[in-house]
């Protein structure tokens, strides 16, 4: 192989080209086929981005191989928060940062519009965008002999009463110490990211996504004194059954589920992997909360 020399202009140009190619970022593009007009929006972005980076794949998350993920520098997800959450459980294994493009309704995690992504793409590819690290949960269901179910969670793990929809009773321990018995319609264990999801609807506290903690919130408890509690991110929670329904189950991010039996123990702790998300410099972490959910909005006085 001929050695390149910087004294030769042609060789110097070849070196610059090689260095330039080595610095080209690789993107994988995920789309949610359920969202209307998503194909045309994705096609338009791919055409725009092709001169700036290498698009290694454009597909649905379930169609993408681990090899493609491992060689990608960023993953662009077109859809809503549900699409991002689904993708994040796979992307966390490869430490690939997610760029969320909101084609849904709220967009807590899908921070960019399609136009905003185009405006900021050069900064993202050039390493000038802020990448935020979010903690995830690891959930296992132990049946007394082995772990028969395991999944990571971006938002939350929740145990639901299920058919015939009578209240259930759950025993909660934290780091081996008994916390409480909860008679309710179920239980939510949430990450800070998920604190604005089911946890918030059930009356739990809103946490900054940058925090590292877990929130334990009961669903319609049969007690005025059972209030949500925030615990250390490195704690280990175990939930066992005192009474269940035939249809009781555990759900992860509202997307992955497993039935629960009386002998099962649900174990929840911090996952080793983290979810990486690219922040939109045009928005703050509170914009969606205040702007779309009207959190802390002032009273709307008549005639004002």
Catalytic residue, chosen from 81, 156, 253, 264, is 81
81 in active site? yes
Spell out a b/e string for 49-68, using b for 16 or more CB atoms within 10 Å of the CB, else e: beebbebbbbeebeebeeeb
Q: Which residues contact 258 (CB under 8 A, 6 or more apart)?
A: 141, 148, 149, 249, 250
How crowded is residue 43: how many other Cβ atoms within 10 Å of its Cβ? Answer: 13
Secondary structure of 242-298 as H, E, C letters = EECCCCCEEEECCCEEEECCCCCEEEEEEEEEEEEEECCCCCCCCHHHHHCCCCCCC
Q: Which residues are annotated as catalytic?
A: 81
């Amino acid at each position: 192989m001929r050695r390149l020399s910087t004294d030769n202009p042609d060789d110097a140009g070849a070196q610059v080209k090689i260095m330039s190619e080595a610095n080209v970022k690789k993107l994988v593009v995920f789309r949610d086929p359920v969202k209307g007009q998503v194909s045309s929006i994705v096609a338009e972005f791919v055409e725009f981005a092709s001169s700036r980076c290498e698009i290694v794949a454009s597909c649905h998350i379930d169609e993408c191989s681990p090899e493609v993920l491992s060689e990608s520098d960023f993953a662009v997800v077109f859809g809503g928060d549900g699409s991002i959450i689904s993708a994040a459980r796979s992307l966390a294994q490869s430490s690939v940062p997610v760029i969320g493009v909101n084609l849904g309704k709220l967009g807590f995690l899908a921070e960019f519009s399609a136009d905003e992504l185009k405006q900021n793409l050069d900064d993202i590819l050039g390493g000038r965008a802020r990448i935020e690290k979010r903690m995830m949960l690891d959930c296992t269901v132990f049946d007394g002999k082995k772990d028969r179910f395991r999944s990571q969670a971006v938002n939350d793990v929740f145990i639901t009463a299920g058919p015939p929809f009578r209240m259930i009773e759950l025993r909660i321990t934290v780091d081996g110490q008994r916390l409480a018995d909860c008679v309710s319609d179920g239980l939510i264990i949430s990450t800070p990211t998920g604190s604005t999801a089911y946890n918030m609807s059930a009356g739990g506290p809103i946490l900054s996504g940058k925090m590292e903690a877990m929130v334990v919130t009961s669903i319609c408890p049969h007690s005025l004194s059972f209030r949500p509690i925030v615990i250390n991110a490195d704690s280990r929670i175990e939930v066992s059954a005192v009474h269940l329904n035939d249809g009781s189950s555990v759900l992860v991010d509202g997307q992955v589920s497993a039935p629960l039996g009386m002998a099962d123990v649900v174990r929840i702790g911090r996952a080793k992997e983290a979810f990486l998300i690219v922040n939109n410099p045009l928005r703050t972490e509170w914009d969606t909360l205040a702007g779309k959910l009207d959190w802390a909005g002032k009273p709307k006085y008549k005639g004002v």
